[in-house]
Structure 1
Amino acid sequence: MWSMIGLIGGLILLIYLTMRGMNLFVAAPLCALIVAVFSGLPLFPQLVGEGEANLVGNYMVGFSGFIQSWYLMFLLGAIFGKVMEDSGAADSVSKWIVDKLGMKHAALAVVIACAVLTYGGVSLFVVAFSVYPMAVSLFKQANLPRRFIPGALAFGSVTFTMTSAGSPEIQNWIPIEYLKTSPYAGWEVSLIVAIFMALFGYWWLKRMIAKAVARGEGFIVREGDPEENDKSLPHPAAGMIPLIVVLIISFVFHDSLKQSALIIALLGGVIAAYVLNRKYFNNFGDAVSEGTLGALIALGNTAAVVGFGGVAKAVPAFSTVVEAITNIPGSPLIGGAVAVSVIAGMTGSASGGQAIALPLIAPHYLDMGVNPEALHRVVAISSGALDSLPHNGYVVTTIRAICGETHQDAYNAVGALTVIVPALGTVLAIILFSLGIGI
């Protein structure tokens, strides 16, 4: 019982401290300590045998493992975003999009840009880095409250694209290993659900922004924002081509290099941005330096939360929770959705929720005769719901490190669009599959 109290209490405290703006480098280890103490988990590696669970060891394995896997992608993604900003390429693209869509569709432009890159295989973190400069410019021109930028970025990245059929994002690929399906599993239902999430989510985003504007909110310029100047901007095509280069390279090399394809893609984007826009830079060296610093901050914040998940997974209560939610009676699709979603919420990771739940539920449900394509799609969509709680690495990085907002100001929109909308999409998918659609 004490282990369960510690696990739930630590998670709630982490969410609370994150919402209050406490530094994650302090909050995450502190909450991990609470989880460990209540579960009787030894604190140091020296107190246990080799390979046995302990607070410091498990925390640092999670922390350092994330950095090892994502450092280069974060680095190049942040540099790419800064290069696009400093050269004026992001401004050029944003002005062109506004001219085409109209100023009142500024938020839609941000959502579309994120959706295209995400569905093209670009990492969710990288998309946020890359599109943020354009989003700032768009919201500034449209005089929209900047606290909704994280919501627009997240909605375009982690909802109707991340978990849809055909998406090269890892959340759509993990089930393949366990269910022997394809990335296009349940595509008919996936298409319907994606359209629903896109339309409903964008309507909700517009409604929230409109209410804020009606209350007198507008864009507030901050120190560090791109400065207004009269310098000429690159042609919109010169701003779009680097984005397209990232999209194409990541798609071409995704099958052979997996996530390492992003390294080549982002490097290609940086090179393309420099070659096409080199005469427009204020200072290319400074842009690279600022991007590097931003990457380190974002990477550290995310790794701190991942370290907490590494400790949480090692305590007895976590196994109890996993066993309980993977044996929920009723429709296997409902059980699978709840199992993956809850575990994703506990670990703050959609892919983590899948990787933990699928080895347990997949053999059981397949033996029951559950359609593997239906299970694949429900699992994928449901993994993108509770994973976006305030302590999620992507949420923390996007709100605080990339956009410079606070959870108090920005999370309501992010939570509505990335928790509630995907949850409704999961319900719709289960209903459609239950009616025999796509099976």
Structure 2
Amino acid sequence: MGLLGLLVGLGLLVVFAFRGWSVLLLAPFAALVAALFGGEPLLANLTQVFMISAAGFLAQFFPIFLLGAVFGKLMDDSGAVTAVAGFMAERLGERRVVLAVVLAGAMVTYGGVSLFVAFFVIAPMARSLFRAAAIPRRLIPAAIVLGTSTFTMSALPGTPSIQNAIPMPFFGTTPFAAPGLGIVASLVMLATGLWWLRRAEAAARRAGEGYGEDTEDATERAAADELVRERATTAREFDPAELRHGQRSGAPSPVVSAILPLIVVVAVNLLMSLVVLPRLDVSYLAEPRFGSTSLAAVAGVWSVSVALTAAIVTTIVLNWTRLPALRQTMDAGANASVLPAVSVASLVGFGAVVASLPAFTAVRDWVLAIEGGPLVSLAVATNVLAALTGSASGGLTIALDALGPTYVELASRTGIDLGLMHRVAVIGSGTLDILPHNGAVVSLLAICGLTHRDSYFDIVMVGIVTSLLALVVVIVAGSVLGSF
């Protein structure tokens, strides 16, 4: 009965989340259903397992949600994201439209801009470019996914994405874990994704397909759609409803003022991770009032938080005159972080209840018994949980909450570098999460005025297939050569 309860709870979560029900209601309800089937005390599971685990997630990662959302909103309202996208389009021209869209998305998301901010700015630009180049608009979502939701989310060393931050407290790693393998994985994703998009574009030109009929107001309708909002908030760290608040600049930011904050994020993150924090005396962290913790458990979150703070200050200083409603803009960014953070925390609470049930022992044993070693079983665990929850961050946290200490022990016993574990876990979480019910996919299609039938196959090819291929390459290379 306990195992049946796990399946019923997961099924309820997936089905109703796909229908647009709030995960804030679904996650505790599904957790209690699983506990009920297992004959476990319901109120104790709600207050002592679900809520404590959800609160623990917020305590660890809310600063990244908050600072990332504020930075993204400032970049949006100052016209910086528009400037970066326009710069890439101008430099690459009509003959390389797809590449321009991919690189524009990659540049802003690797620089710390929230995914949904990038969606709402890059999608209108992509429509204009694809229309001028007579490329089918059904390929726009795939081009945006390749640039924003693959290698810059999970593979590029130092990426400030929440997914890259989640393994750090578990493994004691930094945002630059396994940098060489991360670069290799990024090249695999980018090269294979661009190859597929060029192939699809060429086939469409041979068939005389053209751009197609456009839906100009799709972006505005998506921003006001409550169903899109509910699905989006479990997928990434920005509440789309807040994009309408604040006040956007009437003109794009100068390119230098737009790009410099993105560079600051990467540079400060690198400096904090590899130079500043390792040299600090933080012995005080062992004191009970600081949680009796260690630098390894907090260094990653500290590095990303300082980097985003530095980028926020840089954005304000460089774009002061283009932020006419600074307080409203920052308020909107702060508000935009709350619902996604609490939604993902609720998924984590659900996972904690499931992991605490006696029936979960059978699931854990099955995962650890998967042939191929710890790296393969870790990749399978993060893939499956991200797919079921439709959330890379939620699935990854659930997997590491339940199995993280076990994988640390296995790594020590087998000689696997924890940086390699980190990179495999993050890339694994960013593959099968891009299933049809994923909030980012649903939102992006709505923003582009397209349906799953129009564009989902190409999203699968550039989002799932390329990431799975990169994951295989990282596991094989890491197993043979070790972490680098």
| TM norm structure 1 | 0.75
Task: Indicate how the Cα distance of structure 1 residues 27 and 106 shifts in structure 2: closer, same or farther if over 3 A, else same.
Answer: farther
The Cα shift of 1:339 comes to: 4.4
Report which stretch shifted further, 226-235 or 6-15: 226-235
* 1:183 corresponds to which of 177, 192, 205: 177
Q: Secondary structure at the match of 2:33?
A: helix
The answer as to whether partners of 2:156 and 2:186 remain within 8 angstroms in 1 is: no
The answer as to whether partners of 2:171 and 2:408 remain within 8 angstroms in 1 is: no
Does residue 271 of structure 1 match 2:304? no
Residue matched to 2:291: none
Residue matched to 1:89: 80
Q: What is the 5 A alignment of 1:94-109?
A: 94-102=85-93, 108-109=99-100
Q: What is the 5 A alignment of 1:1-400?
A: 2-45=1-44, 54-102=45-93, 108-109=99-100, 111-113=102-104, 115-116=106-107, 122=112, 127-128=114-115, 131-132=118-119, 134-139=121-126, 141-142=128-129, 155-156=146-147, 159-164=150-155, 166-167=157-158, 169-170=164-165, 183-184=177-178, 187=180, 191-204=183-196, 214=211, 216-219=213-216, 220-222=218-220, 231-255=250-274, 256=277, 257-329=299-371, 334-342=376-384, 345=387, 348-350=394-396, 352-354=398-400, 356-357=402-403, 359-360=405-406, 381-386=427-432, 396=439
The Cα shift of 1:162 comes to: 4.8
The answer as to whether partners of 1:24 and 1:304 remain within 8 angstroms in 2 is: yes
Residue matched to 1:51: none
Q: Mind listing any 5+ residue stretches in structure 1 that lack a counterpart?
A: 46-53
Superposed CA offset, 1:313-372 (max 9, x none): 111222211111211346665445434544555674335435644543565587678899
The answer as to whether partners of 1:84 and 1:133 remain within 8 angstroms in 2 is: no
Q: Secondary structure at the match of 2:319?
A: helix
The Cα shift of 1:270 comes to: 2.1
The Cα shift of 1:426 comes to: 2.9
Which amino acid is the alignment partner of residue 83 of structure 1? L
Distance 1:370 1:421 in 2: 25
Distance 2:34 2:261 in 1: 45
Superposed CA offset, 1:174-208 (max 9, x none): 79669xxx9337x4x66554322222234456778
For this pair of structures, how many residues does the alignment match?
Answer: 417
Distance 2:459 2:349 in 1: 23
Task: Indicate how the Cα distance of structure 1 residues 73 and 362 shifts in structure 2: closer, same or farther if over 3 A, else same.
Answer: closer
Task: Indicate how the Cα distance of structure 1 residues 67 and 93 shifts in structure 2: closer, same or farther if over 3 A, else same.
Answer: same
Superposed CA offset, 1:278-305 (max 9, x none): 2223422221222222222222222222
* 1:427 corresponds to which of 466, 469, 472: 472
Distance 1:90 1:103 in 2: 20
The Cα shift of 1:258 comes to: 1.9
Residue matched to 2:283: none
Task: Indicate how the Cα distance of structure 1 residues 23 and 215 shifts in structure 2: closer, same or farther if over 3 A, else same.
Answer: farther
The answer as to whether partners of 1:28 and 1:307 remain within 8 angstroms in 2 is: yes
Q: Mind listing any 5+ residue stretches in structure 2 that lack a counterpart?
A: 224-242, 278-298
The Cα shift of 1:99 comes to: 0.7
The Cα shift of 1:376 comes to: 7.1
The answer as to whether partners of 1:106 and 1:138 remain within 8 angstroms in 2 is: no
Task: Indicate how the Cα distance of structure 1 residues 341 and 29 shifts in structure 2: closer, same or farther if over 3 A, else same.
Answer: same
Task: Indicate how the Cα distance of structure 1 residues 55 and 160 shifts in structure 2: closer, same or farther if over 3 A, else same.
Answer: same
Superposed CA offset, 1:236-272 (max 9, x none): 1111112222222222213424212233222222222
The answer as to whether partners of 1:119 and 1:162 remain within 8 angstroms in 2 is: yes
Task: Indicate how the Cα distance of structure 1 residues 381 and 272 shifts in structure 2: closer, same or farther if over 3 A, else same.
Answer: closer
Task: Indicate how the Cα distance of structure 1 residues 331 and 38 shifts in structure 2: closer, same or farther if over 3 A, else same.
Answer: same
CA RMSD across the alignment:
4.4
Task: Indicate how the Cα distance of structure 1 residues 379 and 407 shifts in structure 2: closer, same or farther if over 3 A, else same.
Answer: farther
The answer as to whether partners of 1:309 and 1:346 remain within 8 angstroms in 2 is: no
Q: Secondary structure at the match of 2:334?
A: helix
Residue matched to 2:296: none
Task: Indicate how the Cα distance of structure 1 residues 149 and 316 shifts in structure 2: closer, same or farther if over 3 A, else same.
Answer: farther
Distance 1:118 1:221 in 2: 19
Distance 1:214 1:96 in 2: 23
Superposed CA offset, 1:206-240 (max 9, x none): 77899897553445241667799994433111111
